Amino acid sequence: MKYGSVEVRGLAMIALKKKSYIYKLLKFSKQYQMKLHIQLLLLLSLVGCSSTKNVTEVDLNFTNNLKIDKNDLQIITPHIEIKEKRNGKFLATPVERKKLRNVILQTTKSMFPNAPYVEVMFMYRDAYTINLVLEREVSYKKRKAPKEVLTTGKRYSILISTNNYFGELERGVINLFLIDNEKETLQLLKHYQYKHSPLQTEKFKRKILKVLQKL
């Protein structure tokens, strides 16, 4: 059979038609996949938008089976940052900072009524200085405790560190640290994000109690 014969040309035409059909099928498949992908993204974005109003907090906690002697526990001065966002600017609010510190202390004492309170003057320093010492990436591994937060009296200390915003931006972060004064270690036990005004005292108290339940 010679190349160019009727039979060969016929087979070639069939092959070309099949190739064209497969190409169209693949093209349609890609278009369908793209359309499906876009529809899925739209659906996810709609679900995300509708659920944003309901999702008010993010609770991260990777520290399990924590066992400490509650009789060997004390409360130290919390680290409080609270600012008002107004006209696109963040304004310091020392009065609200003092109020929020009292709320945290009273709530913590209600959870651990027998734990003594130890005032740490370092926690009254400016935010920049405190953050240089305390703030690092969110990690649940133990690390060497800064000397500024080590105290005497009890082996363990509870330290709550919060950053809060109200006004045009209403949200905040609560971090619970456990300090081992003997081993001189500091460990983040819970990282908690909330989305409401910190001036809503009762809501804020519930968040603090939720964080303290880790102990």
Number of domains in the chain: 2
Mode of pairing for the β-strands spanning 143-144 and 57-60: unpaired
* Residues 43 and 110 both lie in one domain: no
pLDDT confidence band for 66 (50 / 70 / 90):
low
Residue 33: which domain range?
1-55
* Residues 183 and 155 both lie in one domain: yes
* Residues 12 and 25 both lie in one domain: yes
| Crossing angle (nearest 10°) for helices 201-212 and 94-111 | 50
pLDDT digits (tens, 9 = 90+) for 4-36: 455 545 555 555 555 555 555 555 555 555 444
Predicted pLDDT at 155:
95
* Residues 71 and 116 both lie in one domain: yes
Predicted pLDDT at 211:
84
* Residues 208 and 164 both lie in one domain: yes
Domain final residue pick, 30, 55, 80: 55
* Residues 72 and 127 both lie in one domain: yes
* Residues 42 and 117 both lie in one domain: no
* Residues 88 and 147 both lie in one domain: yes
Tell me how long the chain is: 215
* Residues 66 and 49 both lie in one domain: no
Residues in Cβ contact with 80 at an 8 Å cutoff, skipping those fewer than 6 apart? 97, 100, 101, 104, 123, 162, 164
* Residues 34 and 83 both lie in one domain: no
* Residues 49 and 65 both lie in one domain: no
Task: Take residue 103 and report the two structure tokens written for it.
Answer: 């709320």
* Residues 37 and 129 both lie in one domain: no
Predicted pLDDT at 13:
57
**3-class DSSP state for residue 94?**
helix
Predicted pLDDT at 43:
45
